[in-house]
Structure 1
């Protein structure tokens, strides 16, 4: 095993169905990352950075764009349902593929509990007669069924969920711009008063901008699912390239544009962590029932993220099983006794056991969140708090190594190229390291880094022990 040649760059046949269309991937790229972190969590960033939150989102968004460009380059050249886990294995060895795959799976199934619980709280407010746990059960059952039936069901759910979120942001940007110009009834042009008053554009200096980056960088997590989903489309290489190209620019526009509208219309000092700045703006410009309207958007965003995370986690663990990094029983993709023709039509070659394994751990996470939200589940959540940055770092390292191999062995596969290679790849890697160091100096973020480092160390130790045992064999 130790002297085995590096894995081939040739793409292996994808055993899953190709039920996703280009429109599914494009909208997944646009809407999959837009969630409650933007609609509600952005208030915390504004509270620490003031109008400088616009710069915070530009910096965090630029980092996410670089990571996605690197990931898009590798996924277009070598599409696979394991995406960056497969790339890490081909670039660095089995230990890397094992580690990043399991860490990402763990991240998704834990965060899934937050989304299910958050959506249940909103639904419970609308229908108090139904207990919160019952709403969680309903959501989990519905999306488990959607993911078990056929991949096109997942695609359709995400398409319409994402369309609603994107539509809400476009409408918000339109109304906000009209309000800034004083075109709406009962509004006057606001000018630059809120950008230059209350301490200026950077009321807390660049330290505030950096704190804002720490508050918002994780809002860009979720884009990676596009490269996982692309493997189940008709033309993975072409589709993932198009999805990555369109998604990163538009998402950056939505995020930065939203923040610019918010801090231009309202004084940043009026923002409170935990309260949606979008609701505050809609209330200020006289939109009736703004809070309930935004509740609907956040509710859809949470269900969309739940659906996407269940999909992404099931494909990741299925890919791990394909490479003998997870139990091989997870490879079953159809019910026993169903003829192949019916199997393809009815089930769409869905990794059913991988879906059930992911949702089972998701249920455990939800129960922990409902029963011990401030103790057991908090530790679990902290253990994945910085995992996204570790995953991004491995994506960058994998791209730096694989790019040279692709250029040497199959240059025709580089249909999507990383900008400014290798300098921007190294810049992204250094920026990820800088964010981790800054998190260590922040009292609120430090436990996430330490717990996540411990979880990562445990996975790396497991990977090392497996390598050692296989070499001994």
Structure 2
């Protein structure tokens, strides 16, 4: 459920406008390309965390195989990625609210929505779980309903309305209005939509049967991409000319989904869809905040984060980590005040850079994971990433290429990304010198010791 919350949110419902602007109808191919990379990352994660179902998920596994420095960067980058994503989601929610109330300042809506989801995470795990269950249920039903309604309009199954048909997929410049370069550029932008898939590893330690449950979650991701991304985006592109659906002038003022329904003459449906998108964005923010606070709490327990983040409430909620997470909300609030027209796109770019770093570290960890297990003569997992190490290298190369492409697409994001990575590495060196951080767990040695003990019984 947490993985679904992170992967099905603003990246699709709002961010798709910027993707469509670059590729037009070929956005379908762009999402397929970005989704293929995301699936490879998910399967690498599933293989590792189902073998090592430990608290901290892929961050703990990264520390074990890449060393203390690699684990520190992986975990802090993921936490920051999630927090900035929270800022993007609440900014998107405020954008949806302005569809009805354009006079409401973007910053006011963002702060109000942030306060709501922080309350869900701060007071009890039960409140978070209940809210997230209903949030996720509503947005899944909404996505399916949108696809069905869109297909009915396209195929002429709505009484009194002529069929729209599929002509918009090839009109207005053709299926590839900006050529292959447009598709590749849009693929870079589409990466943001798949941020949050890493959350599938965050609950591995709590799963009753991680060897079964985690691979099943990875398998389910395939259908989510097909149904919620490819099908939904295809319907959006078919309902109206892509030139009307795309983001205009580098800014996004409303959801392409709402715009498509409104321009199709289904006014009430557009308003209902906008309400549901508010729920979808809150759900994604809720899931990202949950994952971030748990990661920050785990870092604090190990002395790698502010001590306040290690404090728990009486009911076991990491309220200290929730307080630290105000960082992401603060960024969103400042941008909403100083650059309201481009706040969401700035946050999208920053999150994309963090996602690329996470994906590179996951694939690098998986390479070392496979190599060390082969050296120890351990068998491959039954459900694993196929095509390794070629797929690993391909994904890492693609992430580097996307980062370079961002210099032209979103110059601020990579320019900030380089000092950001330097700051992560520098903070590790400083913290290690001050606190002399302990060595990470050797998960492979623990597995071999457990196997030896089992044989001796």
TM range (shorter): 0.7 to 0.9
Is 1:307 the counterpart of 2:249 in the alignment?
A: no
Listed as ranges, the matches of 1:30-69 within 5 Å are: 30-69=4-43
CA distances 1:159-182 after superposition (whole Å, capped 9, x unpaired)? 211111111111111122222222
Greater CA drift, 379-388 or 229-238: 379-388
Contact 2:57 2:202 in 1 (8 A): yes
Counterparts in 2 of 1:320 and 1:252: CA distance versus 1, 3 Å: farther
Listed as ranges, the matches of 1:12-411 within 5 Å are: 25=1, 28-120=2-94, 122-123=96-97, 136=110, 138-273=112-247, 274=252, 275-335=254-314, 347=315, 349-358=316-325, 360-373=326-339, 381=347, 384-407=351-374, 411=378
Contact 1:230 1:236 in 2 (8 A): yes
Superposition CA RMSD, Å: 3.1
Greater CA drift, 92-101 or 378-387: 378-387
Aligned to 1:418: 385
Measure the CA separation in 2 of the matches of 1:174 and 1:255. Answer: 14
Measure the CA separation in 1 of the matches of 2:36 and 2:292. Answer: 26
Contact 2:135 2:283 in 1 (8 A): yes
Contact 2:106 2:340 in 1 (8 A): no
Report deviation, 1:99. 1.2
Say which SS state the counterpart of residue 383 (structure 2) adopts. coil
Aligned to 2:450: none
CA distances 1:49-96 after superposition (whole Å, capped 9, x unpaired)? 121111111101111111111112112112234222212211111111
**Number of aligned residue pairs:** 430
Report the TM-score, using the length of structure 2 for normalisation: 0.84
Q: Which of 403, 410, 418 is the matching residue for 1:453?
A: 418
Report deviation, 1:407. 4.9
Counterparts in 2 of 1:453 and 1:149: CA distance versus 1, 3 Å: same
CA distances 1:358-398 after superposition (whole Å, capped 9, x unpaired)? 2x324533442344346998998465551110111011100
Report deviation, 1:418. 0.8
Greater CA drift, 65-74 or 234-243: 234-243
Measure the CA separation in 2 of the matches of 1:32 and 1:370. Answer: 22
Which blocks of at least 5 consecutive residues in structure 1 are unaligned?
1-24, 336-346
Is 1:435 the counterpart of 2:435 in the alignment?
A: no
Measure the CA separation in 2 of the matches of 1:124 and 1:270. Answer: 19
CA distances 1:395-427 after superposition (whole Å, capped 9, x unpaired)? 110011112334555947935311222222222
Greater CA drift, 145-154 or 100-109: 145-154
Contact 2:82 2:196 in 1 (8 A): no
Which blocks of at least 5 consecutive residues in structure 2 are unaligned?
438-457
Report the TM-score, using the length of structure 1 for normalisation: 0.81
Greater CA drift, 409-418 or 173-182: 409-418
Contact 2:110 2:333 in 1 (8 A): no
Measure the CA separation in 2 of the matches of 1:455 and 1:104. Answer: 13
Measure the CA separation in 2 of the matches of 1:379 and 1:185. Answer: 39
Aligned to 2:446: none
Measure the CA separation in 1 of the matches of 2:184 and 2:300. Answer: 40
Contact 1:85 1:97 in 2 (8 A): yes
Measure the CA separation in 2 of the matches of 1:164 and 1:375. Answer: 29
